[in-house]
Chain A
Amino acid sequence: GNSVTQMEGPVTLSEEAFLTINCTYTATGYPSLFWYVQYPGEGLQLLLKATKADDKGSNKGFEATYRKETTSFHLEKGSVQVSDSAVYFCALSDNAGGTSYGKLTFGQGTILTVHP
């Protein structure tokens, strides 16, 4: 079955530091990949996505590249801000069709705390 593995957290950084959150996946076929963010006390928001190999998703200074050869989708940001403190989830969507279509499989989430 499909699975998503994220780096262990929590991650604590100082403002303006470089961020990497690792994500690797196992899937049959060619899934779509996503990063979601959950700010304290809020719901889940789509941060960025990539639908095929070598695609780069980007939003709000965050980037992630769909690497089929390494089955990875690592999240990066060059300079984090205090407002980036949140829980980040890597997820994949099975595009195989049938009853699996559209379902998301989530990683365990990584808590990011950014200090001034």
Chain B
Amino acid sequence: SAVISQKPSRDICQRGTSLTIQCQVDSQVTMMFWYRQQPGQSLTLIATANQGSEATYESGFVIDKFPISRPNLTFSTLTVSNMSPEDSSIYLCSVTGRANEQFFGPGTRLTVL
């Protein structure tokens, strides 16, 4: 299984600001995923990030709000832009294993005031 780290682990931000979350994997992977887990809720896929191409966003998520970078096969960033309290969530990145299972990073707990 892959070892995934995320930075920051948590942050408290002011309304209207932006936060960039980093995801680092210990091996090269083609596809990386970004999920959001709102308080007390399940996980919802934000986008799929492939190296060398534009991220593919799920319905309800747009690039202007959640720009993603994927500069190489071990790293990705997700930016939460122009934040509001409704963006308070845990944001998780994940990568796919051999049996299509996904391994998740520890998550970034974001609170927007």
B56: Cβ under 8 A from any A Cβ: yes
The tally of CB-CB contacts under 8 A between chains A and B is: 58
Please name the residue on chain A nearest to B95 by beta carbon. Answer: A102
Q: How far is the CB of B30 from chain A (nearest CB, A)?
A: 9
Q: Does A43 contact B (CB under 8 A)?
A: yes
A99 within 8 A of partner (CB): yes
- Categorize the interface residue count of chain B: 20 to 34
- Give the complex CA separation of A101 and B50 in angstroms: 12
Does B67 make an interface contact (CB < 8 A)? no
Other A-B contacts than A43-B92, A44-B92, A102-B48, 10 sampled, CB-CB below 8 A, are: A42-B106, A43-B104, A43-B106, A43-B107, A44-B107, A46-B101, A51-B99, A93-B100, A95-B100, A102-B33
The reply to whether A104 and B43 form a contact with Cβ atoms under 8 Å apart is yes
A-B contact pairs, 15 of them (CB 8 A): A42-B106, A43-B105, A44-B92, A44-B104, A46-B101, A46-B102, A51-B100, A93-B100, A93-B101, A93-B102, A102-B102, A103-B33, A103-B45, A103-B48, A106-B42
Q: Is the interface on chain A under 10, 10 to 19, 20 to 34, or 35 or more residues? A: 20 to 34
Residues of B within 8 A of A43 (CB): 92, 104-107
Chain B: minimal CB distance from A35 (Å): 10
Residues on A lying within 8 angstroms of B by beta carbon are 32, 34, 36, 42-46, 49, 51, 89, 93, 95, 99, 101-109
- B64-106 contacts to A, CB under 8 A, are 92, 94, 96, 99-106
Chain B residue contacts of A34, Cβ below 8 A: 101-102
Q: Kindly state the separation between the CA atoms of A42 and B9 in the bound complex, as whole angstroms.
A: 11
